[in-house]
Structure formats: structure tokens, C-alpha cells
Amino acid sequence: MSKKDVDQHSGTETTGHEWDGIRELNTPLPRWWLGIFYATIVWAVGYWVVMPAWPLVNGYTHGVLNHSQRADVAKAVEMLKASRRASEARLSKAGLTTIQNDPDLLQFAMAEGKAAFGDNCAPCHGSGGQGHKGYPNLNDDVWLWGGTLGDIQHTITVGVRSVSPDTRQSQMPAFGRDGILKDAQIGDVTEFVLSLSGRSADAKAIARGKKVFADNCVACHGERGLGNRAFGAPNLADRDWLYGGTREDIRSQIELGRGGVMPTWGGRLSPETIKALAVYVHSLGGGE
């Protein structure tokens, strides 16, 4: 050991190195710091014994307590399910109207419905069910496939234009794209459709359009354009338009015949969740 080099000003030992005449003090670490440092080492050794710690080739050391966060989560989830089991069972048995008239059951269904709506429905229908162009607004009183609790439950279960054999099915032909109608005819029928909600004044075009409508549209939309829920055909005489209500919007819909897809939720969601969703959607304000 070389002789200790002590700084004469501070009386503290130096590291012994020198850089351009500058020497570094070798100030010892504070005792409290060292104490904590050694305590953490002791703690770590104890931790290796008690808790899972070291990775091995095929696994890891489990520790005396055999602790597992995965097991904790599984247990917590199981406890949550258990706490809901009684209400879930009642929900399973109860009819939809019974749910709506029982305050406790309604509260449970609304809570579950709201969560399920946020997880599954909000991406298309919006977090408040407000919809968007092409995605129906669930708050209003317009329903393509019916707005009773049962109708809503069925639509959610089978979906629209989806994979279920029972799925709600309707197809508006693409009159323009597929060449079924000529451009002028589409213009005329657009004027007629506008006139159903009192928004066109071109009497001649309306008269021509009425003929085209009678030949091509009445089968689904009805003679006065009031729609038909059996086919999911929308009412053309009201103020609500899934793909927009301007002249251009209506014209483009006749040309392209767009129709969205709603997934078949039966099988993906439990029947109880679908019930809860139906009750929730019904309560948004438009339920019949």
C-alpha cells in the first residue's frame, strides 16, 4: 500500500490520482447512505429466498411463498365474477321488460350495458351512441329494424348483413353503378324522394321520378316512401338520413346503394351481456 495522500486544506484523503495538478478528494460516502445500501443488499438476499427471483433455463425460482401475480389477477377476476354471479343469474332468467321495471336489476344491466357498449359498439356508433354518417344514431326515434327491447336484442344477437344465418339482411341495389337506372332517371327519382319531405319544387321531374320510384323502389320503401322494418328499409319521408339528406347525398346513395355491416354479437358476447346492451341502448332515449 502506498502512503496515504492527504489534502492539506481539507484534511481529507485523496484518490492519489492527479490530472494537471488537480487531485480528487476521496470523501467517504455518508454513513446513513452506506447503512441503507447494505440494508438493501440484505433485503435482496431475503427477497431471493422468499419471492420469485432468478431466471433458470426452463423457468425460474419460485421462492418460498410461491407468489405469482398472474394467480393474483386470476383470483381477483374470479372474485369479481363471483360478486356479480347472483345478479348475472337474475339477469339471465329475467325478461327484458322485467329488467327495466326492477330498479336493482336495471342498475346492474345499465352498468354492464354501458361498459359493454364502450368496449364493443362505440367504435362505430360513437361513445354516446350518437352515430355517424353510415352508422345509425341510437339516441333518436328512427329504427331500421325496430326499436323495441326485443327488436334491439335480436339485432345485436344476429347482426346486420353479417355471418349469422339469421342475420338481418337487406340490400339497396346500386342503381347507378350497376347500370339499372340511367343518370336522368336517378336525377328524377332524387327529386321525387326530396318531395316526400317537401323539399323539391320541380313538378315535372317529380312526376317522372314517381314513375321510376313505383317501378324500382316501392317494393321495399313502400308507395309513400315510409319504409318497411321487415326489410330494414328506411323511411324516406322523415328528417333522418343515414347517408345524409342533401340532394347530392341522396343521389349518391341511389347510385351506390351503400349498406353497412353490423357484426353478429351472439356467440361473441354472452346472452346476459346482450340483454344488458339492449336495455342500455333502449334507455338512450329512442327506445319504443
Taking the least distance from each CB to other proteins, the nearer of 101 and 171 is: 101
Instruction: Let me know the angle formed at the C-alpha of 130 by 153 and 161, rounded to the nearest 5 degrees.
Output: 45
Smallest separation, CB 163 to other proteins (Å): 30
Smallest separation, CB 125 to other proteins (Å): 11
Smallest separation, CB 130 to other proteins (Å): 3
Smallest separation, CB 60 to other proteins (Å): 28
Dihedral angle sign, alpha carbons of residues 78, 79, 85, 88? negative
Taking the least distance from each CB to other proteins, the nearer of 186 and 279 is: 279
In the complex, which residues of this chain contact other proteins (CB under 8 A)? Answer: 103, 106, 126-130, 137, 139-142, 235, 238-240, 283, 285-286
Taking the least distance from each CB to other proteins, the nearer of 187 and 227 is: 227
Taking the least distance from each CB to other proteins, the nearer of 39 and 184 is: 39
Smallest separation, CB 19 to other proteins (Å): 27
Taking the least distance from each CB to other proteins, the nearer of 126 and 222 is: 126
